[in-house]
Amino acid sequence: MSDLENFRQEARAWLEANCPPEMREPVRDEDDVCWGGRNFQFKSEAQKTWLDRCAAKGYTVPDWPKPYGGAGLSAAEAKVWREEMARINARPPLSSFGIWMLGPALLKFGTEEQKVHYLNQIARGEIRWCQGYSEPGSGSDLVSLQTFGEDKGDHWVVNGQKIWTSYADKADWIFCLVRTDKANKYQGISFLLFDMASPGVSTKPILLISGNSPFCETFFDNVSVPKNQIVGELNRGWDVAKYLLGHEREMISATGGGDRAGSLGAALLRASGLEDPVLRADLALFDVDALAFSAMSEKFMDEVKVGRGHPAQPNMMKYAGTELNKRRLELVMAAGGSAALEWDSEASNGGANARNWLRTKANSIEGGTSEVMLGVISKRILDLPGA
Ligand SMILES: Cc1cc2nc3c(=O)[nH]c(=O)nc-3n(C[C@H](O)[C@H](O)[C@H](O)COP(=O)(O)OP(=O)(O)OC[C@H]3O[C@@H](n4cnc5c(N)ncnc54)[C@H](O)[C@@H]3O)c2cc1C
């Protein structure tokens, strides 16, 4: 047997022995997602056991190096690991902005001390992170951000406001873009990390159309941040921010799902026996596009892992994946007819489809809008200035 086949057998046996049966059930709602963090309430013993067992083996971040809490798997092994997880429908042991966004940025820009300290905490699910990028006047034009860090020798004093900070009210720490030089637009931003429990940090949830409040306004009033909590160089935080955005966009593109969940057409057909020929044709088209997206994502990911990715790829994936997910939920709603709009009933699982449909509207805004993605893609493909 090849080394890879050996690893597959090993992973399969470990998963059989260690993944609790409850963790092989589909995720039904937000409570089923394990976000970790200082204040996280585990929904069940099984959820905690699954996290602890994976963290002990480095399987929350399989392809991170072992000294930073990972399992040190190669790209090929990590792919096998994902396939074996999917084979038994195992839930991710940990969902985390630390894993998806901050971790990759720390691996590239962090000091050795920062990597050992923060990455291990992330891998064990001990600290929940939020992202302090957007401000009331700075979304797509992020580089115009105004939150200011005043140099006080051994620390900065940060003042300003962020907005749309997902889960800021639940997060333990924030990775935050702060202006540290007012004279330089691009080279006047620093990338700081700080504790959300620091004096002067406050959050205010924003209520959404779906009835949920997943994000907040976040205020900084004379927040003291020690100098060793900067990632990368002073005033060069824009480089870190852009690198992190690439990973965020890959993460969001996964909402497209490709053919991960199997054929949408077949699933809807089983559920409600669709007769409308137009809807059936739309579903067939969707399934074909989902397959193509899945193949494209896999190709891009393989290229990125061996350093052959194109800089436009995360943006292409983000654009295609989020537009696909919006289409997916439009079709689910169309197939469900007026009953799909039910909001509260037990039969509709608390209006799960309708709420998911409304949530997809944000997919093409978060992490950079579709219009902005198209602009970046064209600049990077055509190699225009400002890419
Ligand atoms: C669900 C969700 C979660 C989020 N979570 C976070 C978070 O955790 N942390 C965080 O910092 N931010 C977060 N955001 C904010 C997100 O990054 C911004 O909403 C996004 O970058 C767009 O900025 P904006 O809302 O200010 O829109 P604007 O920039 O004001 O854009 C308004 C419209 O103008 C268009 N537009 C703007 N500039 C251009 C251009 N150059 N070319 C063509 N069209 C353009 C846009 O496409 C859009 O349609 C989240 C947003 C959502 C929806």
Distance 359 CA to ligand 1 centre (A): 15
Å from CA of 239 to ligand 1 middle:
19
Helices of type H across 67-111: 75-87, 97, 103-109
Q: Which residue has the higher pLDDT, 307 or 296?
A: 296
Please report the pLDDT score of residue 35 as a whole number: 97
Pocket lining: 166 vs ligand 1, CB cutoff 6 Å: yes
Which residue has the least CA distance to atom 39 on ligand 1? 372
**Structural domains of the chain in order of their starting residue, each with its CATH number:** 3-95 (1.10.540), 129-236 (2.40.110.10), 257-382 (1.20.140.10)
Q: Ligand 1 atom closest to Cα of 370?
A: 47
CB 249 within 8 A of CB 318: yes
Q: How many helices (H) and strands (E) does the chain have?
A: 13, 8
Task: Give the mean model confidence (pLDDT) for residues 304-317.
Answer: 88
Q: Is the pLDDT of residue 41 over 90?
A: yes
Considering 248, 250, 275, 346, which one is annotated as catalytic?
A: 248
Phi and psi torsions of 205, nearest 5°: -60, 150
- Mean per-residue pLDDT, 212-222: 93
Mean per-residue pLDDT, 316-337: 93
Separation in Å, CA 252 to CA 23, 157, 320, 357: 23, 32, 10, 16
For residues 370-379, give the mean pLDDT.
Answer: 94
69-106: per-residue pLDDT in tens? 999 999 899 989 999 999 999 999 999 999 999 999 99
pLDDT of residue 347: 83
List the single range of 127-131, 304-308, 371-375 with lowest mean pLDDT.
304-308
Ligand 1 pocket residue status of 140, Cβ below 6 Å: yes
DSSP state of 68: G
Of 185-189, 310-314, 353-357, which has the strongest mean pLDDT? 185-189
Q: Is 293 in the pocket of ligand 1 (CB under 6 A)?
A: no
140 alpha carbon – ligand 1 mean position (Å): 5
Please answer whether residues 367 and 252 qualify as being in contact, where contact means their C-beta atoms are separated by less than 8 angstroms. Answer: yes
Mean pLDDT, residues 101-113: 98
Per-residue model confidence (pLDDT) at position 269: 76
Q: Is 298 a catalytic residue?
A: no
Helix (H) or strand (E) run with residue 178 in it: strand 173-179
3-state secondary structure 146-169: CCEEEECCCEEEEEEEEEEEECCC
Q: What is the position in ligand 1's atom list of the atom closest to the CA of 142? A: 21
Distance of alpha carbon 115 from alpha carbon 213, whole angstroms: 32
pLDDT value at 47 more than 80: yes
Region 209-217: what's the mean pLDDT?
83
362 pocket-lining for ligand 1 (C-beta < 6 Å): yes
pLDDT band at 145 (very low <50, low <70, confident <90, very high): very high
Task: Note the pLDDT of residue 384.
Answer: 83
Give the mean pLDDT of the chain. Answer: 92
In whole angstroms, what is the distance from residue 279 CA to residue 272 CA? 12
- The lowest-confidence range among 107-111, 153-157, 235-239, 354-358 is 354-358
- The pLDDT of residue 271: 74
pLDDT over 70 percentage in the chain: 97
Model confidence over 228-239: pLDDT tens digits?
A: 999 999 999 999
pLDDT value at 260 more than 60: no
Q: Which of 102-106, 307-311, 328-332, 338-342 ranks highest by mean pLDDT? A: 102-106
- Say what the pLDDT of residue 350 is: 84
> Residue 1 has what pLDDT?
66
C-alpha 368/C-alpha 364 separation (Å) is 7
pLDDT attached to residue 307: 83
| Confidence (pLDDT) at 236 | 98
Q: Which residue has the higher pLDDT, 210 or 139?
A: 139
Q: Structure tokens of 293?
A: 């997206």
pTM of the model: 0.93
How far is Cα 26 from Cα 242, in angstroms, rounded to an integer? Answer: 33
- How many angstroms does the Cα of residue 364 sit away from the middle of ligand 1? 9
Of 153-162, 339-348, 373-382, minimum mean pLDDT range: 339-348
Classified as helix, coil or strand, 129 is: strand
